[in-house]
A = this chain, B = another copy of it.
Amino acid sequence: MDEFGLIKSCFAALAGAGAPAYGLGDDAAVLAPPAGCDLVFTKDMMVSGRHFFADDPADLVARKLLRVNLSDLAAMGARPLGYLLGFAFPDHLDEALARDFCRGLAQDQAEFGLRLYGGDTVSGAGSLILSLTAIGAVGQGRALRRKGAQPGDDVYVSGAIGEAALGLKALLGTLPPAVARIPDFAAIKDALINRYHLPRPRVALGMALAGHASAAIDISDGLLADLGHICEQSDCAMEIEAGQVPLSDGGRMAVHHAPELWMDILTGGDDYELAFTAATDEADQLAALAHEAGVAISRIGRVKPGAGLAVIAHDGTPLPRDAWGAGGFQHQ
């Protein structure tokens, strides 16, 4: 079997023999859309050396690729259905890598209940370049959007913020010495790095939020940049209290020893938590839905009339706008 044959058989297994992809035996996949639903489409690419390291385990790369796309579906309140994969590799295919890659996809297909609808495999790329289109479904007219936040709404985030940014610093060895010296940091470091490698898209929470949140986004560019996107699309302002931003144990320990890491936490990308807004009278209902989805949510601020983001530091003073810049985290 040549390299295309190998990868084709791996991918055919991920598609399954039945609809919509029929073992990849046709020119395209055919989906009967779930009744009463809108379909949701998103696409994210990952480039070796840019979005992942060439020696990262290929199963983790595959799962991250799938998960960053699932996170976009979650931000729209959609249930994942399937995906198409573009797999461009250099002139020679590393067969072990290909098998690991497919194993990772199989694992997450099972975890998130979706399957491969199709794709394309090409050689001649300078490095591994991956492109994934994810397809989801949401009740008709119920998709969450960045537009819709209203002055007076509460601002929430799921989970803990900044772990991926700290994980990347740990991976690169650029954490401040004061943190690297913490006795228990070895275990925490692994957890942070794992969080960077393997985001947890908040699929169940996103689905539950449809019909309750007024606007939503997934945190990929960094908390402040992504909240800024909601402000922009919703034509509103926000006041965020840094002291309310939820941290993991590792994050709390890190900022305790190196408070300058706060800026990384607020602006670091790759969290793939959800940020969303909701009317204050949704608070109890949201708490119940989040509990059911098994995800913590934290109220971190309020939507205001106007434009732009104000961040209140731990000491109650406003953080200067320059402190976090306009661009957010650039992971391109």
Contact = CB atoms under 8 A, between A and B. Distances in A.
11 contacts: A26-B145, A26-B147, A30-B138, A41-B84, A43-B119, A43-B120, A46-B122, A123-B332, A124-B332, A125-B126, A125-B127
Interface string A233-252: 10000000000000000000
Interface in A56-79: 72-73, 75-76, 78
A53 to B, nearest CB: 12
Contacts of A22: 145, 147
Interface of A: 4, 20, 22, 25-33, 37-47, 49-51, 72-73, 75-76, 78, 82, 84-86, 88, 117-127, 129, 131, 133, 135-136, 138, 140, 143, 145-147, 217-218, 233, 332
A30 B122 contact: no
A86 B84 contact: no
A30 B88 contact: no
B26 A31 contact: no
Contacts of A122: 45-47, 50-51, 332
Contacts of A145: 22, 26, 30
Contacts of A135: 41
B123 A126 contact: no
A25 B146 contact: yes
7 A-B pairs with least C-beta separation: A126-B126, A50-B124, A28-B42, A131-B131, A86-B131, A133-B133, A27-B75
Contact of A76 (B30, B82, B140): B30
A47 B84 contact: no
A75 B118 CA distance: 15
Given A26-B233, A28-B40, A39-B39, 18 more contacts: A22-B147, A26-B76, A26-B145, A26-B146, A28-B72, A28-B73, A28-B75, A41-B82, A43-B133, A45-B88, A46-B122, A47-B122, A50-B122, A84-B133, A86-B86, A120-B131, A125-B126, A126-B126
A86 B51 contact: no
Contact of A126 (B26, B44, B73, B127): B127
A85 B22 CA distance: 24
Contacts of A120: 43-45, 131
